[in-house]
């Protein structure tokens, strides 16, 4: 069983093994749901096409350049 810990400000530490398996990185966003029974469900949001390149390229790119970067898959 893997255990996550909540810190004083409500931040949750996700175990390294889970981060690796789910391919999670700092800055990723999550959807948080609470069921009627009180269970908490945390789901990673998929990055959209343009967000996947944030911080990798400076300046403007053509669509062909974006397609090239997308093909490399970060």
Residue 39: give the domain boundaries: 5-72
For the residues of 1-34, what is the DSSP string, one character each? Answer: ----EE-TTS-EEPPHHHHHHTT--TT--EEEEE
What CATH number should be reported for the domain holding residue 29? Answer: 2.10.260.10
For the cut 70, the answer to whether the pLDDT of residue 53 exceeds it is no
Q: What is the pTM of this model?
A: 0.54
Helix, strand, coil shares of the chain, percent, nearest 5, are 25, 20, 55
Confidence of residue 73 (pLDDT cuts 50, 70, 90): low
For the cut 80, the answer to whether the pLDDT of residue 58 exceeds it is no
**In the chain, how many domains are there?**
1
For the cut 60, the answer to whether the pLDDT of residue 74 exceeds it is no
Confidence of residue 63 (pLDDT cuts 50, 70, 90): confident
């Amino acid at each position: 069983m893997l255990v996550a810990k909540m810190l004083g400000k409500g931040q949750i530490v996700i175990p390294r093994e889970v981060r690796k398996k789910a391919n999670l990185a700092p800055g990723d966003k999550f959807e948080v749901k609470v069921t009627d029974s009180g269970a908490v469900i945390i789901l990673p949001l998929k990055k959209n096409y343009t967000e996947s390149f944030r911080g990798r390229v400076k300046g403007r790119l053509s669509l062909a350049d974006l397609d090239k970067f997308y093909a490399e898959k970060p």
